[in-house]
């Protein structure tokens, strides 16, 4: 894997000889173990190179109705939830306070963090991600400022046409949607739990299934954090 990464980012990291000082080879930049004062100089450059080389391959959001339908089929097979094109959630990533940033990333939990908004499919793989909002920003606020909300609100995401649920005898068309927790706003493309008050038996079953299917994005974040 190391050699594959070096080969893919080689063209992004190679530099010409400047002032008779030989630059570090790309393979040395990808490796770990450098002192802080050295690694801080090229980590941003290496990170951008990895994103440029691998971004479209490992984090590609569906762009056609058929690709979205494949995501929905996986949710139905693995999590028993229909018309689902992803699970969305925000994750708080704890950080050290950046220099000269004041309380920009300070959170009500009394530590510094950045927010990661992500959408995952039924296999714990990310389809969409935005990172970098301030620690005080809510999941709903970050979603409202994202490119994703513009795509969904203005029909730019190429979602599949509405289809009836398999068990609906009336064959009422239902839109495809993402599953979210209580911090998000209910929309035709966003489904969430019933408020936990005086629930009927069917509503309790629905909440249980939503929680189970929506949890894939939380688990995906945990898997990524432990890699």
Answer with the residue of higher pLDDT: 27 or 79: 79
Range from 3-7, 87-91, 106-110, 212-216 carrying the lowest mean pLDDT: 106-110
Quote the CA–CA distance of 166 and 178 in Å, as a whole number: 18
With contact defined as beta carbons under 8 Å apart, do 190 and 177 qualify? yes
Tokens of 49: 């190179």
Contacts of residue 169, defined as CB under 8 A and 6 or more positions apart, other chains included, come to none
The CA angle 16-20-22, to the nearest 5 degrees, is: 55
Q: Check residue 115 and give its pLDDT.
A: 81
Place of tokens 């490119």: 147
16 band by pLDDT with thresholds 50, 70 and 90: very low
Do residues 176 and 165 touch, judged by C-beta distance below 8 A? Answer: no
**pLDDT for position 15:** 58
* pTM (global) more than 0.85: no
pLDDT tens-place string over residues 176-192: 999 999 889 999 999 99
Cα–Cα distance, 72 to 166 (Å, whole number):
13
pLDDT at residue number 82: 92
Q: How many whole angstroms separate alpha carbon 177 and alpha carbon 210?
A: 12
Q: What is the pLDDT, as a whole number, of residue 103?
A: 65
Stronger pLDDT, 227 or 206, i.e. the higher one: 206
Measured distance CA(159)–CA(81) in Å, rounded: 17
Check whether 99 has a pLDDT greater than 90. no
Top pLDDT among 196 and 214 is at 214
- Phi/psi for 169 (5° steps) reads -70, -25
Answer whether residue 20 shows pLDDT above 50.
no
Contact 178, 190 (CB under 8 A): yes
Q: What is the pLDDT of residues 112-147, one digit of tens each?
A: 777 889 999 999 999 998 886 665 667 888 888 888
197 DSSP assignment: S
């Amino acid at each position: 894997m190391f050699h594959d990464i070096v080969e893919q980012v080689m063209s992004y990291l190679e530099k010409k000889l400047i002032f008779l000082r030989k630059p570090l080879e790309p393979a040395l930049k990808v490796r770990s173990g450098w002192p802080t004062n050295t690694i801080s100089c090229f980590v941003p450059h290496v990170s951008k190179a990895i994103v440029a080389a691998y971004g479209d391959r490992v984090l590609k959001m569906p762009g056609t109705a058929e690709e979205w339908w494949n995501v929905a089929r996986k949710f139905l097979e693995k999590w028993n939830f229909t018309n689902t094109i992803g699970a969305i959630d925000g994750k708080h990533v704890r950080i050290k306070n950046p220099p000269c940033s004041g309380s920009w990333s300070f959170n009500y939990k009394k530590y510094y963090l950045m927010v990661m908004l992500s959408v995952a499919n039924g296999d714990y793989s990310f389809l969409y991600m935005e990172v970098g909002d301030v620690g005080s920003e809510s999941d709903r606020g970050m979603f409202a400022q994202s490119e994703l909300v513009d795509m969904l609100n203005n029909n730019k995401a190429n979602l599949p046409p509405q289809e009836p649920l398999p068990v609906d005898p009336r064959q009422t068309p239902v839109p495809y949607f993402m599953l979210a927790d209580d911090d998000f706003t209910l929309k035709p493309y966003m489904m969430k739990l019933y408020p936990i008050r005086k629930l009927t038996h069917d509503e309790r079953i629905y909440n249980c299934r939503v929680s189970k299917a929506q949890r894939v994005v939380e688990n995906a974040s945990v898997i990524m954090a432990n890699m």
